[in-house]
Amino acid sequence: MLNVITADAQTCHRAEYRVGQECCPMCPPGNRVNKHCTEFTSTSCEPCADGTFLDQLNGQTECFPCKTCDADPGLKVKRPCTTTSDAVCGPQDGFFCVDRRGDGCVAAQKHRSCKAGQYISRRGTAITDTECSDCTGETYSNGTFPSCQPHTKCESEGLQQIRPGNHAADSECGPKHDSSNKTVIIVPVILVAVIIVAVAVAAAVMCRRNKRPKQSAGRITLVRHKEEIRMANFLRKGCASWLETRSYSYSLSFIYFRSYSLFFIYFRSYSLFFIYLICNLWILLKNCEFP
C-alpha cells in the first residue's frame, strides 16, 4: 500500500506535465500538444496556427488567440503577434496610454486640443497628455502654436490697422487710403459744380423776371427795389429756401437735384454728375423766355 502512494505522489520535472500516471514532455514555445505521451511513446507536438501563440513550454492542446489592437480606438500594433509571442499594442499618434500592461497599452485617450488664446506649453507623448497655457500681453495663438506670437504692427509695414488683435487672433491690416488724391479730385468737382449752380440760379432769376407782366415805367424803380430785397433774401437764406418758397415743383426738383448729386459724388461717378448738372441747366433754360 505504501508503494502505491509513493507512485501517485511522484512529481514530474519542470519540462514535463502529468497525464494520468505518466509525466509527458512539454511542447516548446510556438507549439501545442497534438497527442499526449503514453508508456511507450513521447508527446506529439505541432506548431500554432496563424493568429495564435504559445510563449512558454506547455502541455496545452490549444494555442492562445493573438490580441487585436484595432479593437480599441486609439491603439495600434506596436509589435505584431508571432507563434511564440502575443501582439503588443501602443497608442496611435495623437493619443496617450491611460492603462499600461508591461511594455504595452490596453487603453488610450486622445491628446487635448488647446483653445484659441492658448499655446502648447508641452506637447503630448505616448504616455502624457498635452499641456496648454494662456497667452499674455500683446500676443496671440490660435491654439496650435508652440508659443504665443506678437501682434503684427501694421504701421511698420506701411499699412493701416483695420481690426486690433487679441489673444486669439492677430491684428488685421489693410492698405492705407491716400486722402490727398481724394482732395485733388473732389476740389475741382466742387468748383465746377458751384459754377454750374450759380449759372442755373442766374438763369432762374432771369426766367422769372421775363415771365412777369409788363409794368409801367413809373413803377420800375419800385420793382427794382423789391427785386434787390428779394435777391438779398435769396443770397441770405440760400438757394434751397428760395426755391421752396416759390412752388412745390421747384422744391421737389431741388430735392431730386441734391439726392442725385450726392449719389453721383459718393460713388465717384463724376462724369454722370456733370452730365446731370448740364441736363438740369438745359431744361431750365429751355423753359425760360428771353426777350
Identify the three-state secondary structure at position 65: strand
- Predicted pLDDT at 183: 58
Name the DSSP class of 58.
B
Q: How confident is the model at residue 86 (pLDDT cuts 50, 70, 90)?
A: very high
Q: What is the mean pLDDT of residues 204-230?
A: 57
- Predicted pLDDT at 197: 72
CA 258, 260, 263, 266 torsion: positive or negative? negative
d(Cα 261, Cα 277) in Å, to the nearest integer? 8
Amino acid at residue number 86:
D
- Predicted pLDDT at 252: 44
pLDDT digits over 121-162, tens only?
999 999 999 999 999 999 999 999 999 999 999 998 889 999
pLDDT digits over 233-245, tens only?
654 554 444 444 4
Q: What is the mean pLDDT of residues 36-54?
A: 95
Strands 44-47 and 31-35: antiparallel
Q: Which of 131, 80, 266 is nearest to 189 (CA)?
A: 266
pTM tops 0.75, yes or no: no
**Domains located in the chain, CATH noted:** 2-65 (2.10.50.10), 69-110 (2.10.50.10), 118-174 (2.10.50.10), 179-209+224-286 (no CATH)
Q: Which of 113, 149, 151 is nearest to 132 (CA)?
A: 113
pLDDT digits over 94-130, tens only?
999 999 988 899 999 999 999 999 999 999 999 999 9
> 62 pairs with which residues across the strands?
none
Residue located via cell numbers 438763369: 203
- Angle at which helix 248-266 crosses helix 270-286, to 10 degrees, equals 160
